Amino acid sequence: MPAEIGTIPSSALALAAAYRSEEADPVSVVDTLLERVAALDAEVGAFVTVTADEARAAAVAARDALRGPGADALPPLFGVPTALKDLTPTAGIRTTFGSAAFADLVPEMDGSPAVRVAAAGMISLGKTSTPELGLPCYTEPDVAPPSRTPYDLTRGAGGSSGGAAAAVATGLVPVAVGSDGGGSIRIPASSCGLVGIKPSRGLVGGTPEEIDVSGLAVPGTLALTVADAAALLDVLALTGSRMQDACGRAPGRLRVARFCDPVISELPPDPEVVAAYEDMSRLLVRLGHDVVDVPPPFGPETVAAFETAWFVGAASVPVPPEREELLRPLTRWERERGRAATGVEYASALLAMRQAEQRTLEAYAAYDVVLTPTLGQLPAPVGSLRDDADPAADFEAQKGFTPYTSVWNIAGAPALSLPTGWSSGGLPIGTMIAGKPGSEPLLLSLAAQVEHECSTPANAWRRPSTLMADR
């Protein structure tokens, strides 16, 4: 991505600094970005709902606050534009959950991510697209156009935070909020050439109504840079500047475990994905880290437990009976399988996942970080994973696309996707680093070190997308 979008710094932190030096103001920034949304969103499918009036009003208030007394005490990302995933309830603003069954839903209350973004003084431009109920790893909902990676508009942005990733990668917002129950932040981060952070279970608190019994899903962040992603995580997790500060510290010499064998699929990874993983491994060695091959943490028995928990989660979403027929074939298939599971089977699945969590953490206890590819394949062509005629085949195709990410949802551990590789056709390829629960600062320190190394002229950390270059 270019260093600037017109006269606007593309980095959230750089934009916040420009506000304080009076080189930019929130009103002109919001107006410029809304113009970009109007010009480009039809191509990338980032937004379901654009809240232009609310954003402009918030920008005026932010400008006045930045010019008034006490401006030095304002939060670090005050006035910085962002966007909220359409799984996050927003009071008075349509929230569709990516589904025609909820196309007209207007919640009365905000979800926790919306509350925390507003409390930090950030300005939401609207709701970003997500697949139905956030279930598929591709973002092709009935309520909005497909979300596409701006590096190749024939290919999808991934999911389920696909709209958020498309928005950031296209320069419509500098950072965006996502959520991740099986890879839903890291998958689109890899597909769109971004940094995507899935934090540890429990780091980002929520209300009692937001509790995920399976323990799989957590809010997280998507950004162009490691520091920006960390700064937004500080906002969501109420951690002050702890995550952002970690980006400025050297990680020290680390023991890095690595594996490339798919965990939840038998489909071999794409050779270009493997090449990017090997390149990342060599880079870590050059940086002084010890890299050791290890086997994957678990096998098919845990995959079956994950699927049971996933399907029960899909079935537990309350949908008015008269609107069930509006759900997609894949959603109905998953909900039917979830309803078919007995209480004992669900309890057994949750136990199996907790046991797999413990085994995973014990297996890698001697290592600081675990390295894998983020995805098994290159960004998928729009429509190539979806199969309305055969939802079971659809689900299996998704597993082949995402054979690594759900490991860390099961383990409750943090994982971060970095855009460290490029295919021969110019598509972004992510590699993933994961750590022990609570080790976000260490992961961010390592990620920032890798980012710095890959930003040298001899490397290609980030490239302008075709869409951006054309504008």
**Peptide bond preceding 129: is omega within 30 degrees of 0, i.e. cis?**
no
Closest residue by Cα to residue 333 from 364, 354, 311: 311
- From the number of C-beta atoms within 10 Å of its C-beta (0-12, 13-18, 19+), residue 1 rates as buried
Integer Cα distance of 135 and 312 in angstroms: 12
> What is the token pair recorded at 41?
């969103």
Q: Among the options 11, 99, 184, 465, which is catalytic?
A: 184
Residue 117: partners with Cβ closer than 8 Å, 6 or more residues away: 82, 84, 124, 177, 235, 236
Q: Among the options 10, 99, 129, 160, which is catalytic?
A: 160
Are 182 and 16 in contact, with CB atoms under 8 Å apart?
Answer: no
Integer Cα distance of 186 and 247 in angstroms: 19
Element (H, E) at 10: none
Q: How far apart are the first and last CA of the chain?
A: 12
Element (H, E) at 432: strand 428-434
Residue type, 449: Q
Residue type, 113: P
Active site residue 85: yes
The angle that helices 300-315 and 343-363 make with each other, rounded to 10 degrees, is 130
Are 373 and 189 in contact, with CB atoms under 8 Å apart?
Answer: no
Cα-atom radius of gyration of the chain, to the nearest Å?
21
Q: Among the options 10, 11, 85, 417, which is catalytic?
A: 85
Integer Cα distance of 368 and 365 in angstroms: 8
Integer Cα distance of 164 and 221 in angstroms: 9
Active site residue 184: yes
Q: Report, as residue numbers or ranges, the catalytic residues.
A: 85, 160, 184
